[in-house]
Chains A and B, each alone.
Chain A
Amino acid sequence: MRAELLLMGRRVDMSQRARRRALVVGIYTVLATLFVGMWLVDHWRYTGSYLYWAAMLVCWLFLGGYYRSGLVKPFNGEGPRRLDTTPSLLLLKLRMYPAITRDYDGGYQNDERELHQRDRAHYQAYQAITVVVLIASFVAYASTTGHSLLRAIPITPAQMFYGTMLLTVMLIFTLPQCILLWTEPDMEEEG
Protein backbone atom coordinates (compact mmCIF):
# COMPACT_ATOMS: atom_id res chain seq x y z
CA MET A 1 0.00 0.00 0.00
CA ARG A 2 1.19 3.50 -0.74
CA ALA A 3 1.71 6.01 2.06
CA GLU A 4 0.66 9.05 0.07
CA LEU A 5 -1.97 9.97 -2.45
CA LEU A 6 -1.20 12.00 -5.53
CA LEU A 7 -4.20 14.24 -6.17
CA MET A 8 -4.13 16.95 -8.83
CA GLY A 9 -0.36 17.28 -8.45
CA ARG A 10 -0.49 17.50 -4.65
CA ARG A 11 0.80 14.79 -2.35
CA VAL A 12 -1.49 13.92 0.56
CA ASP A 13 0.01 11.93 3.43
CA MET A 14 -2.14 8.87 4.14
CA SER A 15 0.20 6.92 6.37
CA GLN A 16 -2.11 7.30 9.38
CA ARG A 17 -4.90 4.80 9.71
CA ALA A 18 -7.32 7.38 11.08
CA ARG A 19 -6.91 9.43 7.92
CA ARG A 20 -7.46 6.39 5.72
CA ARG A 21 -10.57 5.45 7.68
CA ALA A 22 -11.92 8.96 7.26
CA LEU A 23 -11.38 8.58 3.51
CA VAL A 24 -13.29 5.27 3.45
CA VAL A 25 -16.19 6.76 5.42
CA GLY A 26 -16.20 9.79 3.11
CA ILE A 27 -16.22 7.62 -0.02
CA TYR A 28 -19.11 5.46 1.13
CA THR A 29 -21.05 8.47 2.35
CA VAL A 30 -20.74 10.09 -1.07
CA LEU A 31 -21.64 6.86 -2.88
CA ALA A 32 -24.64 6.28 -0.59
CA THR A 33 -25.80 9.86 -1.13
CA LEU A 34 -25.48 9.42 -4.87
CA PHE A 35 -27.34 6.11 -4.68
CA VAL A 36 -30.29 7.69 -2.86
CA GLY A 37 -30.11 10.92 -4.88
CA MET A 38 -30.19 9.12 -8.23
CA TRP A 39 -33.20 7.14 -7.07
CA LEU A 40 -35.02 10.37 -6.31
CA VAL A 41 -34.05 11.85 -9.68
CA ASP A 42 -35.26 9.12 -12.05
CA HIS A 43 -35.30 5.76 -10.22
CA TRP A 44 -31.81 4.99 -11.63
CA ARG A 45 -33.18 4.81 -15.18
CA TYR A 46 -30.64 7.09 -16.81
CA THR A 47 -28.50 7.74 -13.74
CA GLY A 48 -27.79 4.08 -12.95
CA SER A 49 -24.74 4.14 -15.15
CA TYR A 50 -23.48 7.30 -13.42
CA LEU A 51 -23.18 5.33 -10.18
CA TYR A 52 -21.01 2.78 -11.95
CA TRP A 53 -18.77 5.53 -13.30
CA ALA A 54 -18.65 7.16 -9.84
CA ALA A 55 -17.35 3.90 -8.36
CA MET A 56 -14.75 3.70 -11.15
CA LEU A 57 -13.69 7.29 -10.53
CA VAL A 58 -13.27 6.61 -6.81
CA CYS A 59 -11.07 3.60 -7.67
CA TRP A 60 -9.00 5.66 -10.07
CA LEU A 61 -8.51 8.70 -7.85
CA PHE A 62 -8.34 7.27 -4.33
CA LEU A 63 -8.53 3.53 -3.92
CA GLY A 64 -6.47 1.93 -6.69
CA GLY A 65 -6.43 -1.86 -6.89
CA TYR A 66 -7.98 -2.00 -10.35
CA TYR A 67 -6.02 1.05 -11.49
CA ARG A 68 -2.34 1.92 -11.14
CA SER A 69 -3.10 5.18 -9.37
CA GLY A 70 -4.64 5.34 -5.90
CA LEU A 71 -3.53 4.11 -2.50
CA VAL A 72 -3.69 0.35 -3.04
CA LYS A 73 -1.16 -1.13 -5.43
CA PRO A 74 -2.60 -2.87 -8.52
CA PHE A 75 -3.98 -6.28 -7.57
CA ASN A 76 -2.29 -7.86 -10.58
CA GLY A 77 1.05 -6.24 -9.70
CA GLU A 78 1.54 -4.81 -13.17
CA GLY A 79 3.04 -1.38 -13.77
CA PRO A 80 2.15 1.08 -16.53
CA ARG A 81 2.50 -0.23 -20.06
CA ARG A 82 4.39 2.79 -21.43
CA LEU A 83 6.68 4.03 -18.71
CA ASP A 84 9.21 5.70 -20.99
CA THR A 85 6.73 8.00 -22.74
CA THR A 86 5.96 11.45 -21.41
CA PRO A 87 2.42 12.12 -20.15
CA SER A 88 0.06 13.94 -22.50
CA LEU A 89 -0.09 17.75 -22.40
CA LEU A 90 -3.61 17.69 -20.99
CA LEU A 91 -2.56 15.49 -18.03
CA LEU A 92 0.49 17.69 -17.46
CA LYS A 93 -1.65 20.82 -17.39
CA LEU A 94 -4.13 19.21 -15.03
CA ARG A 95 -1.28 17.77 -12.92
CA MET A 96 -2.88 14.36 -13.07
CA TYR A 97 0.04 12.34 -14.40
CA PRO A 98 1.28 9.44 -12.25
CA ALA A 99 4.49 9.77 -10.26
CA ILE A 100 6.56 7.59 -12.57
CA THR A 101 9.96 8.23 -11.00
CA ARG A 102 8.89 7.02 -7.57
CA ASP A 103 7.14 3.90 -8.71
CA TYR A 104 9.37 2.96 -11.59
CA ASP A 105 11.59 0.67 -9.51
CA GLY A 106 9.02 -2.01 -8.86
CA GLY A 107 6.59 0.15 -6.90
CA TYR A 108 3.69 -1.67 -8.48
CA GLN A 109 4.76 -5.12 -7.36
CA ASN A 110 3.14 -6.59 -4.26
CA ASP A 111 5.52 -8.37 -1.89
CA GLU A 112 4.60 -11.62 -0.13
CA ARG A 113 2.97 -9.84 2.83
CA GLU A 114 0.96 -7.54 0.59
CA LEU A 115 -0.22 -10.50 -1.50
CA HIS A 116 -1.39 -12.19 1.67
CA GLN A 117 -3.26 -9.06 2.78
CA ARG A 118 -4.78 -8.67 -0.68
CA ASP A 119 -6.12 -12.22 -0.63
CA ARG A 120 -7.42 -11.89 2.93
CA ALA A 121 -9.24 -8.65 2.03
CA HIS A 122 -10.83 -10.40 -0.95
CA TYR A 123 -11.89 -13.27 1.29
CA GLN A 124 -13.63 -10.84 3.64
CA ALA A 125 -15.18 -8.84 0.82
CA TYR A 126 -16.41 -12.05 -0.79
CA GLN A 127 -18.60 -12.81 2.24
CA ALA A 128 -20.32 -9.44 1.96
CA ILE A 129 -20.79 -9.74 -1.80
CA THR A 130 -22.29 -13.22 -1.38
CA VAL A 131 -24.88 -11.82 1.04
CA VAL A 132 -25.82 -9.07 -1.44
CA VAL A 133 -26.04 -11.61 -4.29
CA LEU A 134 -28.24 -13.77 -2.04
CA ILE A 135 -30.58 -10.82 -1.47
CA ALA A 136 -30.63 -10.05 -5.21
CA SER A 137 -31.47 -13.68 -5.99
CA PHE A 138 -34.25 -13.67 -3.42
CA VAL A 139 -35.72 -10.52 -4.97
CA ALA A 140 -35.51 -12.05 -8.45
CA TYR A 141 -37.08 -15.27 -7.14
CA ALA A 142 -39.89 -13.40 -5.39
CA SER A 143 -40.44 -11.29 -8.50
CA THR A 144 -40.85 -14.42 -10.63
CA THR A 145 -43.21 -16.11 -8.20
CA GLY A 146 -45.08 -12.90 -7.28
CA HIS A 147 -44.41 -13.31 -3.57
CA SER A 148 -46.81 -11.42 -1.27
CA LEU A 149 -43.91 -10.01 0.75
CA LEU A 150 -42.85 -7.82 -2.17
CA ARG A 151 -46.35 -6.47 -2.76
CA ALA A 152 -46.21 -4.66 0.57
CA ILE A 153 -43.18 -2.62 -0.56
CA PRO A 154 -43.91 0.43 -2.74
CA ILE A 155 -40.97 -0.35 -5.08
CA THR A 156 -41.48 -2.79 -7.92
CA PRO A 157 -39.46 -6.05 -7.78
CA ALA A 158 -37.70 -5.13 -11.04
CA GLN A 159 -36.52 -1.84 -9.52
CA MET A 160 -35.42 -3.61 -6.35
CA PHE A 161 -33.45 -6.16 -8.32
CA TYR A 162 -31.83 -3.46 -10.41
CA GLY A 163 -30.97 -1.47 -7.26
CA THR A 164 -29.45 -4.51 -5.58
CA MET A 165 -27.33 -5.27 -8.62
CA LEU A 166 -26.25 -1.63 -8.79
CA LEU A 167 -25.25 -1.80 -5.14
CA THR A 168 -23.33 -5.02 -5.82
CA VAL A 169 -21.47 -3.42 -8.71
CA MET A 170 -20.48 -0.45 -6.54
CA LEU A 171 -19.36 -2.70 -3.69
CA ILE A 172 -17.48 -5.20 -5.79
CA PHE A 173 -15.19 -2.50 -7.21
CA THR A 174 -14.49 -0.77 -3.90
CA LEU A 175 -14.81 -3.19 -0.98
CA PRO A 176 -11.43 -5.05 -0.98
CA GLN A 177 -9.50 -1.79 -1.23
CA CYS A 178 -11.58 -0.21 1.55
CA ILE A 179 -11.01 -3.25 3.80
CA LEU A 180 -7.27 -2.90 3.21
CA LEU A 181 -7.31 0.83 3.94
CA TRP A 182 -9.42 0.29 7.04
CA THR A 183 -7.42 -2.54 8.60
CA GLU A 184 -3.81 -1.61 7.80
CA PRO A 185 -2.04 -0.11 10.84
CA ASP A 186 -0.26 3.24 10.86
CA MET A 187 2.72 3.04 8.56
CA GLU A 188 5.16 4.74 10.95
CA GLU A 189 4.58 1.99 13.53
CA GLU A 190 5.28 -0.60 10.89
CA GLY A 191 8.62 0.89 9.90
Chain B
Amino acid sequence: MRSPCGRETSGAGARCLLRAENLSLRIGADADARPIVAGVDLTLHAGEMVGLLGPNGCGKTSLLRMLAGILRPTGGAVRRAGADVSVGMISQHVAANLLPWLTGADNVALPGRVQGRSPRRSRREAAQKLDTLGLGHLADRYPHQLSGGQQQLLALARWLANPPNVLLIDEGWSMLDFVQRERVYGYLRDFCAQGHRCICLVSHNVGELAGVVDRGCLISGPPATIADEIELTQHATCAHRVEALWESARRIFAIA
Protein backbone atom coordinates (compact mmCIF):
# COMPACT_ATOMS: atom_id res chain seq x y z
CA MET B 1 0.00 0.00 0.00
CA ARG B 2 1.23 3.47 -0.86
CA SER B 3 0.74 6.60 1.25
CA PRO B 4 0.06 10.01 -0.35
CA CYS B 5 3.77 10.59 0.14
CA GLY B 6 4.47 7.78 -2.33
CA ARG B 7 6.22 5.52 0.15
CA GLU B 8 5.37 2.11 1.45
CA THR B 9 3.33 2.27 4.63
CA SER B 10 3.60 -1.37 5.50
CA GLY B 11 6.52 -3.70 5.74
CA ALA B 12 9.98 -2.75 6.89
CA GLY B 13 9.88 0.95 5.77
CA ALA B 14 8.62 3.52 8.27
CA ARG B 15 5.43 5.29 7.34
CA CYS B 16 5.89 8.67 5.71
CA LEU B 17 3.94 11.32 7.65
CA LEU B 18 4.80 14.56 5.89
CA ARG B 19 6.53 15.34 2.65
CA ALA B 20 7.74 18.59 1.14
CA GLU B 21 8.03 18.41 -2.64
CA ASN B 22 10.13 20.97 -4.46
CA LEU B 23 9.05 23.52 -1.85
CA SER B 24 9.72 27.16 -2.73
CA LEU B 25 8.88 30.52 -1.21
CA ARG B 26 9.36 33.94 -2.74
CA ILE B 27 8.45 37.17 -0.99
CA GLY B 28 7.60 40.39 -2.82
CA ALA B 29 6.15 41.41 -6.19
CA ASP B 30 7.01 39.43 -9.33
CA ALA B 31 9.94 41.53 -10.54
CA ASP B 32 11.48 42.11 -7.11
CA ALA B 33 10.48 38.79 -5.55
CA ARG B 34 13.11 37.60 -3.11
CA PRO B 35 13.60 33.83 -2.92
CA ILE B 36 13.51 32.57 0.68
CA VAL B 37 13.25 28.83 0.10
CA ALA B 38 14.14 27.11 -3.18
CA GLY B 39 13.29 23.58 -4.25
CA VAL B 40 13.38 21.75 -0.91
CA ASP B 41 12.47 18.06 -0.86
CA LEU B 42 12.11 16.66 2.63
CA THR B 43 10.31 13.61 3.95
CA LEU B 44 9.51 12.99 7.60
CA HIS B 45 8.86 9.37 8.62
CA ALA B 46 7.12 7.96 11.66
CA GLY B 47 9.47 7.32 14.54
CA GLU B 48 12.31 9.50 13.37
CA MET B 49 13.78 12.73 14.57
CA VAL B 50 15.19 15.03 11.89
CA GLY B 51 17.45 17.97 12.64
CA LEU B 52 17.85 21.08 10.50
CA LEU B 53 21.17 22.85 10.81
CA GLY B 54 22.10 26.05 9.06
CA PRO B 55 23.37 29.60 9.50
CA ASN B 56 21.23 32.47 10.80
CA GLY B 57 18.81 33.87 8.23
CA CYS B 58 19.19 30.99 5.77
CA GLY B 59 15.44 30.26 5.73
CA LYS B 60 15.05 27.42 8.24
CA THR B 61 12.17 29.06 10.09
CA SER B 62 10.34 29.86 6.84
CA LEU B 63 10.75 26.22 5.79
CA LEU B 64 9.37 25.04 9.13
CA ARG B 65 6.43 27.47 8.92
CA MET B 66 5.55 26.11 5.48
CA LEU B 67 5.70 22.55 6.82
CA ALA B 68 3.34 23.64 9.64
CA GLY B 69 0.90 25.19 7.16
CA ILE B 70 1.35 28.72 8.49
CA LEU B 71 3.02 30.00 5.32
CA ARG B 72 1.69 29.10 1.90
CA PRO B 73 4.48 28.05 -0.48
CA THR B 74 4.77 29.87 -3.80
CA GLY B 75 6.00 26.67 -5.43
CA GLY B 76 5.82 22.95 -4.70
CA ALA B 77 3.61 21.44 -2.01
CA VAL B 78 3.51 20.01 1.50
CA ARG B 79 1.65 16.72 1.57
CA ARG B 80 0.40 15.00 4.69
CA ALA B 81 -0.12 11.22 4.65
CA GLY B 82 -3.82 11.57 5.33
CA ALA B 83 -6.27 14.06 6.72
CA ASP B 84 -5.72 12.66 10.22
CA VAL B 85 -2.03 13.62 10.30
CA SER B 86 -1.73 16.56 12.68
CA VAL B 87 1.16 19.01 12.92
CA GLY B 88 2.27 21.00 15.97
CA MET B 89 4.95 23.65 16.19
CA ILE B 90 6.96 25.39 18.87
CA SER B 91 8.08 28.84 17.78
CA GLN B 92 11.54 30.25 18.47
CA HIS B 93 9.80 33.34 19.89
CA VAL B 94 9.04 32.26 23.43
CA ALA B 95 6.15 34.68 23.97
CA ALA B 96 4.40 33.53 20.77
CA ASN B 97 3.82 30.04 22.18
CA LEU B 98 1.75 30.97 25.23
CA LEU B 99 -1.30 33.13 25.88
CA PRO B 100 -0.45 35.61 28.66
CA TRP B 101 -3.93 35.58 30.23
CA LEU B 102 -3.92 31.81 30.78
CA THR B 103 -2.21 29.87 33.55
CA GLY B 104 0.33 27.17 32.76
CA ALA B 105 -2.30 24.41 32.95
CA ASP B 106 -4.74 26.39 30.81
CA ASN B 107 -2.05 27.01 28.21
CA VAL B 108 -1.28 23.31 28.08
CA ALA B 109 -5.02 22.59 27.82
CA LEU B 110 -5.50 25.11 25.00
CA PRO B 111 -5.57 22.61 22.06
CA GLY B 112 -8.42 20.74 23.75
CA ARG B 113 -10.30 23.95 24.53
CA VAL B 114 -9.95 25.17 20.94
CA GLN B 115 -11.38 21.87 19.71
CA GLY B 116 -14.37 22.31 22.01
CA ARG B 117 -13.50 19.97 24.89
CA SER B 118 -14.86 20.88 28.32
CA PRO B 119 -12.66 23.38 30.23
CA ARG B 120 -12.68 21.36 33.44
CA ARG B 121 -11.67 18.11 31.77
CA SER B 122 -9.00 19.73 29.59
CA ARG B 123 -7.53 21.54 32.57
CA ARG B 124 -7.50 18.42 34.74
CA GLU B 125 -5.73 16.41 32.03
CA ALA B 126 -3.24 19.22 31.47
CA ALA B 127 -2.49 19.46 35.20
CA GLN B 128 -1.97 15.68 35.33
CA LYS B 129 0.43 15.84 32.38
CA LEU B 130 2.36 18.67 34.01
CA ASP B 131 2.62 16.57 37.17
CA THR B 132 4.01 13.59 35.26
CA LEU B 133 6.57 15.86 33.57
CA GLY B 134 7.60 17.25 36.95
CA LEU B 135 6.19 20.66 36.04
CA GLY B 136 3.19 20.61 38.38
CA HIS B 137 4.45 23.76 40.12
CA LEU B 138 3.90 25.72 36.88
CA ALA B 139 0.21 24.78 36.57
CA ASP B 140 -1.22 27.82 38.35
CA ARG B 141 1.35 30.35 37.26
CA TYR B 142 0.98 32.84 34.45
CA PRO B 143 3.62 33.15 31.69
CA HIS B 144 4.90 36.50 33.03
CA GLN B 145 5.65 34.77 36.33
CA LEU B 146 7.91 32.22 34.60
CA SER B 147 11.46 32.35 33.28
CA GLY B 148 12.06 31.98 29.54
CA GLY B 149 13.19 28.38 30.03
CA GLN B 150 10.05 27.52 32.02
CA GLN B 151 7.92 29.06 29.26
CA GLN B 152 9.69 26.85 26.72
CA LEU B 153 9.00 23.80 28.90
CA LEU B 154 5.30 24.72 29.02
CA ALA B 155 5.19 25.08 25.23
CA LEU B 156 6.68 21.60 24.91
CA ALA B 157 4.37 20.20 27.60
CA ARG B 158 1.38 21.40 25.55
CA TRP B 159 2.37 19.14 22.66
CA LEU B 160 3.33 16.23 24.89
CA ALA B 161 -0.12 16.43 26.49
CA ASN B 162 -1.84 16.76 23.10
CA PRO B 163 0.60 14.91 20.83
CA PRO B 164 0.42 15.69 17.11
CA ASN B 165 1.81 13.28 14.51
CA VAL B 166 4.47 15.74 13.43
CA LEU B 167 6.09 18.11 15.90
CA LEU B 168 8.16 20.97 14.49
CA ILE B 169 10.49 22.69 16.95
CA ASP B 170 12.24 25.93 16.05
CA GLU B 171 15.07 26.35 18.56
CA GLY B 172 12.62 25.28 21.21
CA TRP B 173 15.01 25.06 24.16
CA SER B 174 17.49 27.87 23.65
CA MET B 175 16.83 29.08 27.23
CA LEU B 176 16.95 25.73 29.01
CA ASP B 177 19.81 24.75 31.29
CA PHE B 178 21.79 21.58 30.54
CA VAL B 179 19.84 19.47 33.08
CA GLN B 180 16.49 20.41 31.58
CA ARG B 181 17.84 19.84 28.07
CA GLU B 182 18.73 16.25 28.89
CA ARG B 183 15.24 15.73 30.30
CA VAL B 184 13.70 17.27 27.17
CA TYR B 185 15.71 14.95 24.90
CA GLY B 186 14.28 12.04 26.87
CA TYR B 187 10.73 13.34 26.35
CA LEU B 188 11.38 13.78 22.63
CA ARG B 189 12.75 10.26 22.24
CA ASP B 190 9.69 8.88 24.07
CA PHE B 191 7.46 10.99 21.81
CA CYS B 192 8.98 9.52 18.65
CA ALA B 193 8.86 6.00 20.08
CA GLN B 194 5.06 6.22 20.41
CA GLY B 195 4.65 5.29 16.70
CA HIS B 196 3.13 7.43 13.95
CA ARG B 197 4.94 10.41 15.37
CA CYS B 198 8.04 12.27 14.30
CA ILE B 199 9.94 15.43 15.15
CA CYS B 200 11.70 17.96 12.95
CA LEU B 201 13.79 20.41 14.91
CA VAL B 202 16.06 23.34 14.28
CA SER B 203 19.12 23.85 16.43
CA HIS B 204 22.41 25.69 16.18
CA ASN B 205 24.27 23.29 18.41
CA VAL B 206 25.96 20.63 16.24
CA GLY B 207 26.98 18.47 19.20
CA GLU B 208 23.51 18.40 20.72
CA LEU B 209 21.79 17.85 17.40
CA ALA B 210 24.06 14.95 16.49
CA GLY B 211 23.38 13.35 19.85
CA VAL B 212 19.61 13.39 19.54
CA VAL B 213 18.50 13.24 15.87
CA ASP B 214 18.41 10.28 13.48
CA ARG B 215 19.00 12.37 10.39
CA GLY B 216 20.66 15.73 9.95
CA CYS B 217 19.85 18.13 7.11
CA LEU B 218 22.33 20.91 6.45
CA ILE B 219 20.52 23.95 5.11
CA SER B 220 22.39 26.54 3.09
CA GLY B 221 20.97 29.81 1.91
CA PRO B 222 19.21 32.08 1.49
CA PRO B 223 17.35 30.82 -0.38
CA ALA B 224 17.15 27.74 1.82
CA THR B 225 18.13 24.52 0.10
CA ILE B 226 19.13 21.18 1.56
CA ALA B 227 22.86 21.07 0.93
CA ASP B 228 23.44 17.69 2.55
CA GLU B 229 21.46 15.00 4.33
CA ILE B 230 23.24 12.63 6.71
CA GLU B 231 21.88 9.43 8.23
CA LEU B 232 23.29 9.45 11.74
CA THR B 233 21.85 6.16 12.98
CA GLN B 234 24.52 4.23 11.08
CA HIS B 235 27.22 5.62 13.35
CA ALA B 236 27.84 3.54 16.44
CA THR B 237 28.89 6.25 18.89
CA CYS B 238 27.82 9.77 19.61
CA ALA B 239 31.37 10.98 18.87
CA HIS B 240 31.15 9.50 15.37
CA ARG B 241 27.78 11.15 14.80
CA VAL B 242 29.12 14.54 15.87
CA GLU B 243 32.16 14.11 13.65
CA ALA B 244 30.02 13.11 10.64
CA LEU B 245 27.82 16.18 11.06
CA TRP B 246 30.78 18.50 11.62
CA GLU B 247 32.59 17.10 8.57
CA SER B 248 29.63 17.87 6.37
CA ALA B 249 29.12 21.31 7.97
CA ARG B 250 32.79 22.21 7.47
CA ARG B 251 32.60 21.24 3.80
CA ILE B 252 29.33 23.03 3.03
CA PHE B 253 29.87 26.19 5.01
CA ALA B 254 33.60 26.35 4.21
CA ILE B 255 34.63 26.38 7.87
CA ALA B 256 38.36 26.12 8.27
The answer to whether A and B come from one shared complex is no
Which residues does A use to contact B, with CB under 8 Å?
A: none
| Residues of chain B having any CB pair with chain A under 8 Å | none
